[in-house]
Structure 1
Amino acid sequence: MTEQAFVIVGGGLAAAKGAEALRDQGYDGPLVLIGDEPDRPYERPPLSKDYLLGNAERDSAFVHDAGWYAEHDVDLRLGTTVVEIDPRTHTVVQDDGGTVRYAKLLLATGSSPRRLTIPGADAARVHYLRRLPDSDAIKATIASVRRLLVVGGGWIGLEVAAAARTSGVEVTIVEAQELPLLGPLGPELARVFADLHTEHGVTLRTGVGVERFTVDADGVSGAVLGDESRIEADAVVVGIGAAPNLQLAAAAGLRVHSGVVVDARLQSSDPDIVVAGDIAEADHPLLGPGIRVEHWANALNQPAVAASTMLGGDAVYDELPYFYTDQYDLGMEFFGLVTPDNYDDVVYRGVVAAREFVSFWLRDGRVVAGMNVNVWDIGDPIKALIRSGRPVDVARLTDVDVPLEQVAGT
């Protein structure tokens, strides 16, 4: 290859959409995508949602069909790990000893599950969910066990618990905080999801951690909690969050904090390296500096901006954080960002007890985030309220008879 390539390191959604965006934006030079998984890039939400539930085929998770990469002249290198990035020589080094010279590089290495290090954590039948084989294993487990222990009450833990209960498995969730989803939603809305699961028969143990797993000849058999109580289980799924894969970036000398620090154009501290997806800690035109979220929407939408930057464009990433979940009969979409110190009130539109409502997080009377639960097609006005930055008339905001498009500032 005589011409230096545009190289993408990472094999997930952000990587695949980066390749797509580069071709769509007119780049016709050499393009190499290097991913360490044997499967071509796929989306991760189905792994804990429709695919895990048996409502979607495995192929539905893939970003592109098998022929897309060859048709778009993308050199797709699967099952290959990048072990070094050398910005000085513009070289990517692979685990097989191969090297690729790059003109521009998109780094989209994603995250890895945080792992327990307690006694018994390496036993058989202890599962983590990040990749397709993980989902396959958990899916088979749900079909074959009577009792499942889920450690962690975040989105992954709750979605796996819902899938297992829907299949008739007895489920216990152990969450170290006082409520599941306390971090992303705050105490007001976290209670909605705690009640949802207990009403569907989940045993919810909160405010306590797992001290050790008990193990028999076949693998994990349960857990001993911090209060010395015991839980019997035929299998365990651990969902205690994810850590961004920053090793390559740090070793290459890029500026790293909670993620790889980038500007609004997703440009890293190296002028020839851009970043997208879970690892990007970006300046956001509306939300401010240092915004890093591990949501599907970032992996979907950031690559178009990264591609623009690689090609010398001036696009900025200003999409609001977005995520969604489906658990039992509850469907939800969330827009914006909630942290413990960025809101001072939560108000509701609709009936919370019926789980058909919209909640709004407010700071100084301004909407900073919104979540619609079993209420649909209102994402655009929720985003408009957040983007406006203006105080709203709360009485009109919470009145279901006033269209959100007509909620005016005070």
Structure 2
Amino acid sequence: MRRVVVVGASAAGLAAAETLRREGWDGTLTLVGDEPHAPYDRPPLSKQVLSGEWAAERLPLRPPADLDALDLDLRLGTAATALDLTHRTVALADGSCLPYDGLIIATGVRPRRLPGDGAAHVLRTLDDALALRERLRPGCRLVVVGAGFLGAEAAAVARGLGARVTLLEPAVVPLAHAVGTEVGRLLCRVHLDHGVELRTGVSVSGVTDGGVRLADGEVVEADEVLVAVGSLPNTEWLADSGLPVGDGVLCDQYCEAVSGSHLPRRAGGVYAAGDVARWHNPLFGTPMRIEHRTNAAEQGMAAARNLLAAPEARKPFAPVPYFWSDQYDMRIQAYGHLRGHDEVAVVEGDLSDRRFVAAYRTGERLAGVLAVGVPPRTVRAWRQAVAGGASWREAVGADGRATA
């Protein structure tokens, strides 16, 4: 094996490239990215960059000298357009074709769009964040479509900048499917307390020149519109490759991409990492695709190590997923797999104080925890229980303290 190609130059791709070098790979290492920027950190886009607290110069994940030390064949500003598994090549938008012996796919995700939203903002790239920041002024009417974590963070920042914010959400309780109804209601109250006009249970049919049109025909007027209605994995370039995709690149527990029925059982040295990878997490016994910064870096490292390892020496990627969200003066932290939970119990603190730990049950096990306003060491202790596969009874007791 003399050439490894990593497609995707963000957190997962960079972590994979660094790990390959750290593990002794001294062959040609190509890192492909569709943006013109060197790898940079994305979580600050909806927080410090949007608020103006950070300049763009603070975002690069590594200084130029560290990138130079990796001795990369760096292809920035050029997207991958096709993968040929038979001939083991990756085609790029500039017409070039890269042969590979090993391949790591880390192409991430892109924002979902709404009908007619060409003039609306999305928030995924540095350029997106800078464009929206330029438009946010005191008194500006901003409509945010989607009250998930990204939309909520942007709404919080915009309020801090003096904008008048309307937050539209189709669910009756935002994020209830992930964090539970009562925790979701608490997050709603925080926005209401800070002057956000929150409208739930409303459907958006499209974006107009003057704002957002709802399904009932009403137009919510806006100077600026941010669409934050989720994302789609960047897998279109794999459409004719024979590599199965379904809400991401389908992978096994080692992050190796599973090949199609007309190909050998494995794609042969093709791995995926980060937001685009849908892999089987043996810790929870289920496939998952995680769109969070910590997972991207960890999975990039795991994919790189398994790519270099002998088949019998590979290790399953079995993390406890982690994410955080900053909204106003409130930091939300969560460990585990919260989606699809069967029960939530507040096990420390109280929701009304906005200082609490909520535990999540799936089946008979502790599946995850979410904390607001508690010390990190408290949350880490609960993480260990999740990582250890603790049963609900072991972790919470027979009936918990309260059901949320």
Same fold flag (TM > 0.5): yes
Q: Supply the distance in 2 between the matched residues of 1:234 and 1:73 (Cα, whole angstroms).
A: 46
Q: What is the CA distance between 1:316 and its match in structure 2? A: 2.0
Among 230, 234, 242, the alignment partner of 2:231 is 242
Q: Which amino acid aligns with 2:243?
A: L
Q: What is the CA distance between 1:241 and its match in structure 2? A: 0.1
Q: Supply the distance in 2 between the matched residues of 1:327 and 1:345 (Cα, whole angstroms).
A: 22
Q: What's 1:218 paired with? A: none
Q: What is the CA distance between 1:289 and its match in structure 2? A: 3.1
Q: What is the CA distance between 1:252 and its match in structure 2? A: 1.4
Q: What's 1:169 paired with? A: 163
Distance 1:74 1:393, change over 3 A: closer
Q: Supply the distance in 2 between the matched residues of 1:32 and 1:393 (Cα, whole angstroms).
A: 46
Aligned-partner SS, 1:347: strand
Aligned-partner SS, 1:127: coil
CA contact (8 A) 1:347 1:361 kept: no
- Would you say 1:107 and 2:105 are equivalent positions? yes
- Would you say 1:300 and 2:302 are equivalent positions? no
Aligned-partner SS, 2:36: coil
What does residue range 328-407 of structure 1 map to in structure 2 within 5 Å? 328-340=328-340, 342-363=341-362, 366-377=365-376, 378-386=378-386, 387-390=388-391, 391-392=393-394, 394=396
Q: What's 2:241 paired with? A: 252
Q: What's 2:280 paired with? A: 283
Q: What's 2:262 paired with? A: none
Q: Supply the distance in 1 between the matched residues of 2:354 and 2:199 (Cα, whole angstroms).
A: 23
Q: What's 2:263 paired with? A: none
Aligned-partner SS, 2:353: coil
Q: What is the CA distance between 1:365 and its match in structure 2? A: 5.6
Q: What is the CA distance between 1:224 and its match in structure 2? A: 2.9
5+ residue gaps, structure 2, are 259-266
Aligned length: 387
Aligned-partner SS, 2:64: coil
Q: What's 1:10 paired with? A: 8
Deviation track 1:90-125 (CA, whole Å, cap 9, x = no partner) reads 1111122212111100000100100001xx422x3x
5+ residue gaps, structure 1, are 216-220, 400-410
Among 127, 134, 142, the alignment partner of 2:136 is 142
Q: What's 1:326 paired with? A: 326
Q: What's 2:261 paired with? A: none
- Would you say 1:46 and 2:48 are equivalent positions? no
Q: Supply the distance in 1 between the matched residues of 2:395 and 2:23 (Cα, whole angstroms).
A: 42
Q: Supply the distance in 1 between the matched residues of 2:161 and 2:400 (Cα, whole angstroms).
A: 37
Q: Which amino acid aligns with 1:278?
A: D
Distance 1:271 1:289, change over 3 A: farther
Q: What is the CA distance between 1:248 and its match in structure 2? A: 2.6
Normalised by the length of structure 1, the TM-score is 0.90
Q: What is the CA distance between 1:364 and its match in structure 2? A: 5.3
CA contact (8 A) 1:323 1:333 kept: yes
Deviation track 1:140-170 (CA, whole Å, cap 9, x = no partner) reads 1113652100001111110110000011111
Q: What is the CA distance between 1:245 and its match in structure 2? A: 0.9
Q: What is the CA distance between 1:72 and its match in structure 2? A: 1.6
- Would you say 1:207 and 2:207 are equivalent positions? no
CA contact (8 A) 1:32 1:74 kept: yes
Q: What's 1:197 paired with? A: 191
CA contact (8 A) 1:69 1:76 kept: no
CA contact (8 A) 2:46 2:154 kept: yes
Q: Which amino acid aligns with 2:212?
A: A
Q: Which amino acid aligns with 1:335?
A: Y
Q: What's 2:178 paired with? A: 184
Q: Supply the distance in 2 between the matched residues of 1:57 and 1:382 (Cα, whole angstroms).
A: 35
Among 217, 224, 238, the alignment partner of 2:213 is 224
Q: Supply the distance in 1 between the matched residues of 2:270 and 2:133 (Cα, whole angstroms).
A: 38
Among 56, 59, 63, the alignment partner of 1:58 is 56
Q: Which amino acid aligns with 2:195?
A: G
Q: What's 1:156 paired with? A: 150
Q: Supply the distance in 2 between the matched residues of 1:175 and 1:302 (Cα, whole angstroms).
A: 31
Q: What is the CA distance between 1:381 and its match in structure 2? A: 1.2
Q: What is the CA distance between 1:380 and its match in structure 2? A: 2.4
Q: What's 2:315 paired with? A: 315
Q: What is the CA distance between 1:175 and its match in structure 2? A: 0.4
CA contact (8 A) 2:156 2:327 kept: yes
CA contact (8 A) 2:346 2:356 kept: no
Q: Supply the distance in 2 between the matched residues of 1:104 and 1:379 (Cα, whole angstroms).
A: 38
CA contact (8 A) 2:203 2:214 kept: yes
Aligned-partner SS, 1:231: strand
Among 124, 128, 135, the alignment partner of 1:130 is 124
CA contact (8 A) 1:87 1:252 kept: yes
Aligned-partner SS, 2:12: helix
Aligned-partner SS, 1:105: strand
CA contact (8 A) 1:145 1:234 kept: no
Deviation track 1:65-104 (CA, whole Å, cap 9, x = no partner) reads 1232222201111111111111111111112221211110
Aligned-partner SS, 2:268: coil
Aligned-partner SS, 1:157: helix
CA contact (8 A) 1:188 1:346 kept: no
Q: What is the CA distance between 1:55 and its match in structure 2? A: 2.3
CA contact (8 A) 2:322 2:335 kept: yes
Q: Which amino acid aligns with 1:121?
A: D
Q: Supply the distance in 1 between the matched residues of 2:207 and 2:317 (Cα, whole angstroms).
A: 44
Q: What is the CA distance between 1:244 and its match in structure 2? A: 0.6
Between 138-147 and 105-114, report the one with greater CA deviation: 138-147
Distance 1:212 1:264, change over 3 A: closer
Distance 1:87 1:363, change over 3 A: closer
Q: Which amino acid aligns with 1:230?
A: V
Q: Which amino acid aligns with 2:216?
A: D
Between the two proteins, what is the percent identity of the paired residues? Answer: 36
Q: What's 1:406 paired with? A: none
Aligned-partner SS, 1:290: strand
Between 282-291 and 29-38, report the one with greater CA deviation: 282-291
Distance 1:350 1:89, change over 3 A: same
